[in-house]
Amino acid sequence: MPLIKFTKMQGLGNDFVILDFEEYKKTNKTPSELAIKLCDRHFGIGADGLIIVNPEVKNTDIGWIFYNSDGSIAQMCGNGIRCFAKYVYSNGIINKKEFSVETKAGTIIPTILDDGKVRVNMSQPVLNPVKIPVKVENNLNFDLKVSDRVFKANAISMGNPHCVIITEEDTKNLALKYGREVEVHELFPEKTNVEFIKILSRDEINLDVWERGCAITLACGTGACASVVASILNGLCDNKVKVNLPGGQLVIEWDGSKDNADYDVYMSGGAELSFVGEVCV
């Protein structure tokens, strides 16, 4: 079995195995197979997802290949893109602090800040039910029935689908109890990430997340973005919001409104090196 070099990084406890393209090419496995093997917390390195640096792009500075820990492909990952940005900049793969990344959610623009954090232009939220996708006519405050409950749900895509549920109850318990059932609900043909949020003030919310293909995680960057967009569209928050997740805090900015949603979402937060090593695959 080939021995390959890897880097482990985390953003608010949402952790990722990162491979250079040359290391990936040493293996005889698909990205999906590698993700399942490397992300396993008992028999592998352990992570929420696998990121492969992809230099073979034409219209952006760099690209990435991203897979969830269960081997499923993901269009976007907010914490992952911050870790990726920090990795390619710190390792000299990219020599400028603001650059473009090709993803399956389109072109994403991260910026390395002077304090070491990463601010990312996450592009515009998708509110069209067909494009999210979700099988409802109105993506805001629709009834979502799961087992013994009916939730008022908000469907938003940040390049990947999200179901945001605003509640006064314990968000952690709701995510644990209902996250999986909402993820695979028939209204979401591509499954969905699930966010249970509690509004603390006009500029702060709490969030617990059940991620599509990962289950409970400590943080979800795209989920934080979708949650703030949903909060603003429901008139509950202002345009700059602190999002408290189990793994830490993100700051999300969106100048959109119910009358005009054509604004990009900006996410700011940390990304840290955990360790580097070699692994047999």
Q: Is the dihedral of CA 170, 172, 177, 180 positive or negative?
A: positive
Q: What is the pLDDT of residue 202?
A: 98
Q: What is the pLDDT of residue 191?
A: 97
In this structure, what DSSP letter does residue 31 have?
H
Q: Is the dihedral of CA 185, 188, 194, 196 positive or negative?
A: negative
φ, ψ for residue 65, nearest 5 deg: -120, 125
Which residue is it, tokens 């969905």?
A: 192
- Average pLDDT along the chain: 97
Check: CB of residue 84 under 8 Å from CB of residue 65: no
Please report the DSSP string for 126-179 in residue order.
Answer: B--TTTTT-SSS-SSSEEEEETTEEEEEEEEESSSEEEEEE-SS-HHHHHHHHH
In CATH terms, are 3-123+271-280 and 142-263 the same topology? yes
Check: CB of residue 233 under 8 Å from CB of residue 258: yes
Check: CB of residue 107 under 8 Å from CB of residue 60: yes
Is residue 12 predicted with pLDDT exceeding 90? yes
Which residue is it, tokens 């939220």?
A: 125
Q: What is the pLDDT of residue 212?
A: 95
Proportion of the chain above pLDDT 70, given as a percent: 100
Half-sphere exposure of 28 (CA within 13 A, CB side): 2
pLDDT digits (tens, 9 = 90+) for 35-91: 999 999 999 999 999 999 999 999 999 999 999 999 999 899 999 999 999 999 999
Which residue is it, tokens 């973005």?
A: 225
- Per the DSSP assignment, residues forming a β-bridge with 108 are 101
Sequence spans of domains, the chain? 3-123+271-280, 142-263
- The amino acid sitting at 19 is L
Exposed e or buried b per residue across 71-83, where buried means at least 16 C-beta atoms within 10 angstroms of its C-beta: bbebbbbbbbbbb
Both tokens of 263, joined, read 């604004």
Both tokens of 14, joined, read 């949402």
Name the pLDDT band for 251 (thresholds 50, 70, 90). very high
CATH superfamily of 142-263: Diaminopimelate Epimerase; Chain A, domain 1 (3.10.310.10)
Helix (H) or strand (E) holding 37: helix 31-39
Using DSSP's 3-state secondary structure scheme, residue 33 falls into helix
Check: CB of residue 155 under 8 Å from CB of residue 162: yes
Q: What is the pLDDT of residue 1?
A: 84
Q: 3-123+271-280: which CATH topology?
A: Diaminopimelate Epimerase; Chain A, domain 1 (3.10.310)
CA-CA distance, 226 to 89, in Å (whole number)? Answer: 27
- The amino acid sitting at 55 is P
Q: Which residues are catalytic?
A: 77, 220
End-to-end CA distance of the chain: 6
272 contact partners, CB below 8 Å, separation of at least 6: 9, 10, 11, 86
pTM of the shown model: 0.92
Q: What is the pLDDT of residue 11?
A: 97
CA-CA distance, 120 to 265, in Å (whole number)? Answer: 8
pLDDT digits (tens, 9 = 90+) for 164-210: 999 999 999 999 999 999 999 999 999 999 999 999 999 999 999 99
CA-CA distance, 201 to 261, in Å (whole number)? Answer: 22
pLDDT digits (tens, 9 = 90+) for 140-172: 999 999 999 999 999 999 999 999 999 999 999
